[in-house]
Amino acid sequence: MKKKIRKINVGEQQYVFVINHKYNQGVSEVSLSISLKKLKNKTCSFYFFTWDDSIIGSPLLVGFPLKEITTGNIVNFNLHYPRIVKQFILYGLGTGWNGATRIVFNNGLEILSELGYDIAPLKP
């Protein structure tokens, strides 16, 4: 199955992103790869490892209720939402990624925590 490349604008830049998912022995493995539209091979990639439900699948891909730590608000979290992808683009840019290099973040759940979400319900 071919993965869908989606577009998003952040500031004056055009980015593309792809979300991949696989199931591995009870664990959902999700990756989010982002690049500048014109430099698709220079990705900023995030890897997430969560539980997986046989009916709904990965909580990161279906609209799972996550609590924002600072406000206590519950948000419908889904990696397919552009506002969520934008947070990861800004995170990558804030850590030195500029679109001209590759960078990999292997613990996406920790990054979600840094972005202010309670990740306890996502841990496998």
Q: In this structure, what token pair is assigned to residue 21?
A: 């998912």
pLDDT exceeds cutoff 60 at 81: yes
- Tell me if 65 is assigned to some domain: yes
- Number of domains present in the structure of the chain: 1
- Tell me if 14 is assigned to some domain: yes
Cα 124 to Cα 106: distance, rounded to the nearest angstrom: 15
Average pLDDT over residues 43-53: 94
Q: From its phi and psi, is residue 13 left (phi > 0), alpha (psi between -120 and 50) or beta?
A: beta
- Tell me if 72 is assigned to some domain: yes
Domain that holds residue 36: 6-122
Task: Name residue 17's beta-bridge partners.
Answer: 6, 34
pLDDT exceeds cutoff 50 at 1: no
- Tell me if 1 is assigned to some domain: no
Question: What is residue 109's DSSP assignment?
Answer: H
- Tell me if 113 is assigned to some domain: yes
